[in-house]
Amino acid sequence: MGELSNSEEALRKRREEFREFRTQQERAALAATLLKGRSDHDPVWKGYPGEPLVQRIGVLVLGTFFSLGGAVMLDLMLKDDSRLGVVVSILALIIGTRTIIVAFTGRKAKSSHGR
């Protein structure tokens, strides 16, 4: 009888180890899915290699919109003495300027030769 309880205990221990293993596998699969889902494609902030001309023009228009909006808002907020408005308008100017720069420069393609 003692042998039967030992085998039951061993079986219970194996099942628990298997559950822990499955849980670790599920966590690893979730982490891999999240990493794959994180896109390296960010045309507005960083650009990406091989960006077509139409997309560059779109990013340029978006950046111009933010820059002009930020400049107009900055002018209005300076007249109203609104500190929060000035901060927001400066942020809009920075975002717009960065976007315009990305539209003209973009990110360089990585060399396929490993250099």
Tell me: the pLDDT tens digits for 24-74?
Answer: 998 888 888 777 765 555 655 666 667 778 888 888 898 899 999 999 999
Cβ atoms of 96 and 63 within 8 Å: the answer is yes
* pTM given for the model: 0.52
Tell me: the pLDDT tens digits for 36-48?
Answer: 765 555 655 666 6
The set of residues, in sequence order, having a beta carbon less than 8 Å from that of 107 and lying 6+ positions away, is 46, 47, 48, 49
In the predicted structure, residue 93 carries a pLDDT above the cut 50: yes
CA angle 30, 32, 37 (to 5 degrees): 95
